[in-house]
Structure 1
């Protein structure tokens, strides 16, 4: 059974919200780990990237499993939307956007991980 377009949008939003909830939980865990262990602050960018990848994967799997068609597209949309929202939040609260090779590689990585998560989600449903 195919899902209507309105429901697809709702599932995409739910997948994004799920991704950001997981991000908050993993960042909290990383903060506790950084505070109470001998882990250096130099590892924080790596932990943030891992957090982003896990969050996008879970959100994409959820979205694709609910939409039940074209999982790679819905997963890719979740990945790209996640990173665009992250950039917007970064611009609002921290600093202006500097688009460099690091930013380009992150958005490509986000979309690829979203597509992979979407493929996994469609195969799980």
Structure 2
């Protein structure tokens, strides 16, 4: 029963990260409707939004779980990145994983582990 509670904390962290991502993407899409944005800006924005969402979800999950924050953060980051990949593929994107996605996933896992440790100590 105790492990099930911890997995639900990670799931709730992923859910909160996804909701934050959707809110920020809606705001960004409204802004880019009226102001032009280059592909470089959009690419950097996607990385930043991914890392901020993972940070938020990992801190929340670790704080709620109360132990093993680094593991909780990595679980949230890995699940979040898997969900993003599945949404991309279902949306008609390529199945291939390129260098950008590997770097973004590595950054997300690192940020997830560190922010999970931060969440325990808050």
Q: Size of the alignment, in residue pairs? A: 121
Matches within 5 A, 1:66-77: 66-77=64-75
- Give the alignment partner of residue 40 of structure 1, picking from 37, 40, 43: 37
Normalising by structure 2, what TM-score?
0.92
Instruction: Say yes or no: does 1:27 pair with 2:25.
Output: yes
Normalising by structure 1, what TM-score?
0.90
SS of match in other structure, 1:49: helix
Residue in 2 that maps onto 1:97: 95
Residue in 1 that maps onto 2:113: 115
Aligned-pair Cα RMSD in Å: 1.4
Instruction: Say yes or no: does 1:106 pair with 2:104.
Output: yes
Q: Matches of 1:99 and 1:40 in 2, distance apart?
A: 25
Deviations 1:45-100 (A, max 9, x none): 11111111111000000000011111001001101111111111111112232122
Q: Which stretches of structure 1, 4 residues or more, deviate above 4 A after TM superposition? A: none
Q: Matches of 2:29 and 2:100 in 1, distance apart?
A: 23
Residue in 2 that maps onto 1:51: 49
Contact (CA 8 Å) 1:78, 1:114: kept in 2 or not?
Answer: yes
Structure 2 residues without counterparts, runs of 5 or longer: none
